[in-house]
Structure 1
Amino acid sequence: MSDQQDPIAEVADRLLNIEAEMRRIRVWSFEAPSPEALASNQPFCIDTLDFTEWLQFVFLARMKVIVERGHGLPAVSGIAPMAEEHFRGRPEAGDRLVRELEAVDRLLSDS
């Protein structure tokens, strides 16, 4: 038997870390965007949401459903580069958040 943790459990742990880090750097929102903003067809809802809103209300929300229901994980992820770009030149330091997203990208791309 392998000592490796179940990929779904690892992703679940990372999702919790992402939420905790977003709260720590104060980019967690307590008010959801409008349904219209969430319905964007653009990647990362770039035309209607801030990146951190997309991360919270689209990515985390969808990934939590996948994890909770035991659905198959996405085969690829590339969110960390978008996060790096978002936090470049901003007052809040997103380094830890980017590292957590890199870990999720690796987990999803390797599973």
Structure 2
Amino acid sequence: MSAEPQALLYAIERELKVLSWWQSVPPSAKALASTEPFCLDTLTFPQWLQFVLLPRMQALIDSGAPLPSRISVYPMAIESCKLLAEDTRALEEAIARLDEALSGQRVSREG
């Protein structure tokens, strides 16, 4: 496996920190147990990235398990970031590149 997915996970983490969205305290176990896509009912999108996507992807990489080949996080990133005042382009780009690396398909960028 190439190092690219690992590097992209680091890029997403870095951008969450740059935006001051990285949290030192995790959400409750109940919030993390949501069955909704992206834990939409219990977490913000940045929380979902930090506490669900990144750890699950890292666990797959660490165990040598196959990574998902059908992934589409970028559209959710675009929707979640639309109304924010912060410049989220670097975070959105890192997410688009992760989608591309795993799915093998080009992601159509907005804007």
Q: Taking structure 1 as the reference length, what is the TM-score of the superposition?
A: 0.90
1:63 CA displacement = 0.4
- Contact 1:80/1:101, CA 8 A, preserved across alignment: yes
- Contact 1:84/1:94, CA 8 A, preserved across alignment: no
Identity of aligned residues (%): 38
1:53 aligns with 2:47: yes
Q: Taking structure 2 as the reference length, what is the TM-score of the superposition?
A: 0.90
| Aligned with 1:65 (options 59, 68, 76) | 59
Consecutive unaligned residues in structure 2, runs of 5 or more: 106-111
| Aligned with 1:42 (options 36, 40, 48) | 36
Q: Structure 1 segments of 4 or more deviating over 3 A?
A: none
1:75 CA displacement = 1.3
| Aligned with 1:29 (options 20, 23, 37) | 23
Q: Cα RMSD (Å) of the superposition?
A: 1.2
- Pairs aligned (count): 105
What are the Cα deviations for residues 17-37 of structure 1, in whole angstroms up to 9, with x where unaligned? 110111011111111000000
1:76 CA displacement = 1.2
Structure 2 counterpart of 1:31, which letter? V
Structure 1 counterpart of 2:80, which letter? H
1:58 CA displacement = 0.2
Aligned equivalent of 1:75: 69
1:16 CA displacement = 0.5
